[in-house]
Amino acid sequence: MDIIKEIQAGDYTISTNRKKLDREYMHDRIAKTYWAQGIPRKVIDASIDNALCIGIYLGTTQVGFARLITDYATFGYLADVFVEETHREKGLSKNMLNFLFSLPELQILRRVMLGTRDAHSLYSRYGFKPLAAPNNFMEIHRPDVYKKLPK
């Protein structure tokens, strides 16, 4: 499903239009994060192509991003959320998440999850809480998988 919607947030545009995304910038930025260090460009491209993506733009320059991996019916996983440091403290992450969670296509989702090391207070505003039954969830975690992929 391709949802293309946009809103203005002051001087910024928040858009779900994947064609606007600066993939080179995103690869450079995400490959330096604690959660995806060293991620190859082809993996970034595949992750964008297969998810609902939101970019934040000042003019044509991308300054933020979020990705929701979803089946548009029951489940979503929020990932790769960031706002460039020089554009923080302007409410952009809140604007982006408000926009995302207001999309009518997502109102049917029964469960939305995410993982975060340091942004619990941001996400709790949107109803995220620690897992009610963490023993019911399992994971396969391969922290070094990107190091094993061919360059």
Is the pLDDT at 112 greater than 80? The verdict is yes
Read off the pLDDT of each residue in 12-25 and give the average, rounded to a whole number. Answer: 96
Residue-wise pLDDT tens digits, 127-146: 999 999 999 999 999 888 88
- CA 2 – CA 49 distance, rounded (Å): 10
Read off the pLDDT of each residue in 9-30 and give the average, rounded to a whole number. Answer: 96
Helices 23-30 + 41-49 axis angle, to 10: 120
- CA 25 – CA 21 distance, rounded (Å): 9
- Provide the percentage of residues in the chain whose pLDDT is more than 70: 99
- CA 130 – CA 119 distance, rounded (Å): 12
CA 136, chain centre distance (Å):
25
Residue-wise pLDDT tens digits, 67-94: 999 999 999 999 999 999 999 999 999 9
Instruction: Decide if 6 contacts 109 (C-beta within 8 A).
Output: no
Is the pLDDT at 55 greater than 90? The verdict is yes
pLDDT averaged over the chain?
A: 94
In sequence order, the 6+-apart residues with CB closer than 8 A to the CB of 70 are 51, 52, 76, 77, 106, 109
pLDDT for residue 149: 79
Read off the pLDDT of each residue in 50-73 and give the average, rounded to a whole number. Answer: 97
Token readout for 74 is 């029951």
Token readout for 124 is 């709790």
Token readout for 90 is 């302007």
Pairing assessment for the beta strands 75-83 and 111-114 based on DSSP bridges: parallel
Task: Give CA angle at 34 (111, 127), nearest 5°.
Answer: 25
Residue-wise pLDDT tens digits, 34-50: 889 889 999 999 999 99
Is the pLDDT at 151 greater than 80? The verdict is no
CATH of span 6-148:
3.40.630.30
**What's the predicted TM-score (pTM) here?**
0.91
- Provide the percentage of residues in the chain whose pLDDT is more than 90: 86
For tokens 């049917």, the residue is 108
Burial of 116 (0-12, 13-18, 19+ CB in 10 A): middle
